[in-house]
Chains A and B, each alone.
Chain A
Amino acid sequence: MARSSDVTQVDGDLTITHLTKRFGDFTAVDDLDLNVPQGSFFALLGPSGCGKTTTLRMVAGLEEPTAGSIAIGDADITFSRPYQRPVNTVFQNYALFPHLDIYENVAFGLRRRKDGDVDRKVKEALELVELQHVMRRKPGQLSGGQQQRIALARAIVNRPAVLLLDEPLGALDLKLRRQMQLELKRIQTEVGITFIHVTHDQEEAMTMADTVAVMNAGVIEQMGSPIDLYESPNTAFVANFLGQSNLLPATVTGADGDDVLLSDADGAFRVPRARVAPGVDVGTGRRVLVGVRPEKIHAELLTVAGDAPSHGNFVEGTVASALFTGVSTQYEVATRGGDVIGVFVQNLRPGAVFDPGTAVRLSWDAGFAFILDGSEDPNAGALLDDEAAD
């Protein structure tokens, strides 16, 4: 490989164009386009096998793309060797070198690049992760959380243009994971390096990243800020994979000013036109999915039938199950029209839990609902086994 392809010093946005990776007949990554602005915290979120790790490995240079290109700033790094790119990785199992002590692990990249200031940089990096005191220990003598930080320090010390994190918190227990999420966010803000974080954990992605890309079957389904993705999902997969959603099949019956009018077996609803996913046809007679997040639904005891709220977005049904979780109670309500709707009710007053069998009325603000394409599977992304991270 010629020296001219050594671009370890460049800086800028990460641009991925038409990136494709096939393994035999299987397409892991399918014509992916992505732009990650310099200095942002970017999360690539998806179930195992969606192609996110393959994408990451191609950016790191550990996998060669079948087609497409990867560039940082103006420099094309598509076919550079891993050691010729301004990219460093925090590996899923950390991949700390077991025969080298912590200091030498962190110094490894600097030494390879013949950096003149190894000692100061290593100590700074260890200080950043608050682990200066374990400098002379071997990786095997550290706890999982400590190893995780060392893996981070070992990558960050090189000041790469892009830092890749492959499920970095997957091996830690819940409490430590929460703590490390805050830590990672702090370090990213402090060093200002572009972080690309691959995870199957939607909570992890949402708490840390500025921008989240939801990936499924080799393509990016939707990209945006965590709030945008959560409040306005464009596909059933995103709606279900990020939190939970009730997706009810309905038919468009017309329009009223800025609202779309719909109906299903339970009655009539309205949803603002602004809340229709891009590209979905809401002409009269069209079949669509109406989505509402469970926590957006208000549930009340059904005392007098027909005493309906005036805004019209309501259904009636009976409580099928109630699950008390502490902060809230999660209900499944069987509607008269035959749907099952999930509802989260905050536990504001002690003892105010509806028993199964109770007749309730569910209602929501029209502005909280959203409309998706009616041809989608309402369960897409809901039943995935997100434990089997890969």
Chain B
Amino acid sequence: MSAVVESPTPAQRTLSAPTRVWRWFGSNVLRLYAVIAFAYLLLPVVYTFAFSFNDAGKSNLVWRGFTLDNWLNPCGAPEVCGSLVNSLAIGLIATAVATALGTLIALSLVRYRFRGRASTNLLIFLPMATPEVVLGSSLLALFLNLFVPLGFWTIVVAHIMFCISFVVVTVKARLASLDPRLEQAAMDLYANEREAFRRITLPLLAPGIAAAALLAFSLSFDDFIITNFNSGQVNTFPKFVYVSANRGIPPQANVIASAMFIISLAIVLIAQLVGRARRKG
């Protein structure tokens, strides 16, 4: 965390003006800049958290005083918990299916050479590069054409669709960094294909699959645009918040969001600590 170390390079005597500015910038301004950037990133988080304690009347826009009531009674506002349960259920189902389907695609893409690999990669990439509004509206067009009633299951279908690509990419990265010789060594040591996969590849892949599942869940849980197109009358948590934005969001929504924030942060921190402990042995 110290300032730039002044190493005696041959060029030191003839430091140009931009270089001197650069060094000063590097040691001082950059740190200040980082502080401001982090403030920008975290200010709304702090706001959301703080307003979960607001003794809000009808609308939670202005600070009216501290209370713990919202935290003690998170389901106090109508529909907050109902939409949360919907979001959790959709998230869990979409995560399970997308993780399974995406992992299988990643395995094929990394471990096999086959005709159509390039087009498969393109098909995986495209949903990530398509604006959500197009993904959502095109899926709605399909459902309208087929007279599929919109609701819980159309949301699940949509979420699985946009999560698959992210799972593929995450698992693929982990798989690509796995040494193929490990599986060869297992087969050399009398493990057949199935055993080699189960005893070597799968355990080594597990952290990547877990990361992909977490990513899929957080994408699904936080999705609004695609959900909004395909949800019909069903409410999810983001949709509930968006819809109630104009008539006032109940502070209980902030409680739910803050609790989710704390849980997610705890998961990440624990994963970090476990990883560090494991590395130290």
Residues of B166-196 whose CB lies within 8 A of A: 179, 181-182, 184-192, 195
A81 touches B187 (CB 8 A): yes
A98 touches B189 (CB 8 A): no
Which residues from chain A contact B188 at a C-beta distance below 8 Å?
Answer: 60-62, 82-83, 87-89, 155
Q: Is the interface of B mostly helix, strand, loop or mixed?
A: helix
Query: Nearest chain-B residue to A8 (Cβ)?
Result: B190
B200 at interface by CB-CB < 8 Å? yes
Query: Nearest chain-B residue to A157 (Cβ)?
Result: B189
A368 at interface by CB-CB < 8 Å? no
Which residues from chain A contact B179 at a C-beta distance below 8 Å?
Answer: 93, 95
A88 touches B203 (CB 8 A): no
CB of B28, distance to nearest CB on chain A (Å)? 40
B281 at interface by CB-CB < 8 Å? yes
Residues of A78-101 whose CB lies within 8 A of B: 81-83, 87-89, 91-93, 95-99
| With A89-B185, A97-B185, A141-B281 as contacts: A83 and B191 at CB distance below 8 Å | yes
| With A88-B189, A108-B191 as contacts: A82 and B281 at CB distance below 8 Å | no
Query: Nearest chain-A residue to B203 (Cβ)?
Result: A99
| With A93-B179, A93-B181, A141-B281 as contacts: A112 and B204 at CB distance below 8 Å | no
A81 touches B185 (CB 8 A): no
CB of A156, distance to nearest CB on chain B (Å)? 12
CB of B131, distance to nearest CB on chain A (Å)? 41
Residues of B182-224 whose CB lies within 8 A of A: 182, 184-192, 195, 199-200, 203-204
| With A98-B204, A137-B281, A138-B281 as contacts: A113 and B190 at CB distance below 8 Å | yes
Which residues from chain B contact A96 at a C-beta distance below 8 Å?
Answer: 185
Contact among A81, A92, A108, A137 for B189, CB-based, below 8 A? A108
B186 touches A97 (CB 8 A): yes
B191 touches A62 (CB 8 A): no
Interchain CA distance A309-B204 in the complex, whole Å: 71
B281 touches A154 (CB 8 A): no
* Additional pairs, 9, CB under 8 Å, beyond known A81-B187, A98-B204: A83-B192, A93-B179, A99-B203, A108-B191, A112-B189, A112-B191, A112-B195, A138-B281, A155-B188
Which residues from chain A contact B182 at a C-beta distance below 8 Å?
Answer: 95, 97-98
Interchain CA distance A108-B187 in the complex, whole Å: 10
CB of B175, distance to nearest CB on chain A (Å)? 15
A245 at interface by CB-CB < 8 Å? no
A83 touches B190 (CB 8 A): yes
Which residues from chain B contact A48 at a C-beta distance below 8 Å?
Answer: none
Query: Nearest chain-A residue to B206 (Cβ)?
Result: A99
A158 at interface by CB-CB < 8 Å? yes
B281 touches A97 (CB 8 A): no
Query: Nearest chain-B residue to A114 (Cβ)?
Result: B190
Interchain CA distance A112-B195 in the complex, whole Å: 8
Question: 21 A-B Cβ contacts within 8 A?
Answer: A8-B190, A62-B188, A82-B184, A82-B188, A83-B187, A83-B189, A89-B188, A93-B179, A95-B181, A97-B186, A98-B204, A99-B204, A108-B186, A108-B189, A109-B189, A109-B190, A112-B190, A137-B281, A141-B281, A155-B189, A158-B190
CB of B272, distance to nearest CB on chain A (Å)? 18
Interchain CA distance A389-B187 in the complex, whole Å: 24
Q: Is the interface of A mostly helix, strand, loop or mixed?
A: loop
B185 touches A95 (CB 8 A): yes
A91 touches B185 (CB 8 A): yes
Closest 6 CB pairs of A and B: A109-B189, A95-B185, A112-B190, A82-B187, A95-B181, A83-B190
Interface size on A, residues (CB 8 A): 29
Interchain CA distance A212-B182 in the complex, whole Å: 29
Query: Nearest chain-A residue to B182 (Cβ)?
Result: A95
Which residues from chain A contact B184 at a C-beta distance below 8 Å?
Answer: 62, 82, 91, 95
Query: Nearest chain-B residue to A98 (Cβ)?
Result: B204
Interchain CA distance A87-B200 in the complex, whole Å: 20
A91 touches B181 (CB 8 A): yes
CB of B8, distance to nearest CB on chain A (Å)? 32
CB of A102, distance to nearest CB on chain B (Å)? 12
CB of B243, distance to nearest CB on chain A (Å)? 47
Interchain CA distance A60-B184 in the complex, whole Å: 10
Interchain CA distance A157-B188 in the complex, whole Å: 13
Residues of B233-280 whose CB lies within 8 A of A: none
CB of A170, distance to nearest CB on chain B (Å)? 14
CB of B12, distance to nearest CB on chain A (Å)? 36
Query: Nearest chain-A residue to B195 (Cβ)?
Result: A112
Residues 131-156 of chain A, each 1 if its beta carbon lies under 8 Å from chain B, else 0? 00000011011000000000000110
Interchain CA distance A287-B203 in the complex, whole Å: 64
Query: Nearest chain-B residue to A113 (Cβ)?
Result: B190
Which residues from chain B contact A91 at a C-beta distance below 8 Å?
Answer: 181, 184-185
Which residues from chain B contact A8 at a C-beta distance below 8 Å?
Answer: 190
CB of A73, distance to nearest CB on chain B (Å)? 19
Which residues from chain A contact B281 at a C-beta distance below 8 Å?
Answer: 137-138, 140-141
Which residues from chain A contact B203 at a C-beta distance below 8 Å?
Answer: 99
Residues 72-98 of chain B, each 1 if its beta carbon lies under 8 Å from chain A, else 0? 000000000000000000000000000
Query: Nearest chain-A residue to B178 (Cβ)?
Result: A98
B192 touches A81 (CB 8 A): yes
Interchain CA distance A360-B181 in the complex, whole Å: 55
Which residues from chain B contact A154 at a C-beta distance below 8 Å?
Answer: 189
* B179, B187, B188, B199 pick with most chain A CB within 10 angstroms: B188
Which residues from chain B contact A113 at a C-beta distance below 8 Å?
Answer: 190
Interchain CA distance A61-B188 in the complex, whole Å: 8
| With A95-B181, A95-B182, A112-B195 as contacts: A158 and B187 at CB distance below 8 Å | no
Interchain CA distance A154-B200 in the complex, whole Å: 15
Which residues from chain A contact B190 at a C-beta distance below 8 Å?
Answer: 8, 83, 109, 112-113, 158
CB of A127, distance to nearest CB on chain B (Å)? 20
Which residues from chain A contact B191 at a C-beta distance below 8 Å?
Answer: 83, 108, 112
Interchain CA distance A92-B184 in the complex, whole Å: 12
Interchain CA distance A305-B203 in the complex, whole Å: 78
Residues of A169-191 whose CB lies within 8 A of B: none
* B179, B185, B187, B281 pick with most chain A CB within 10 angstroms: B185
Residues of A296-330 whose CB lies within 8 A of B: none
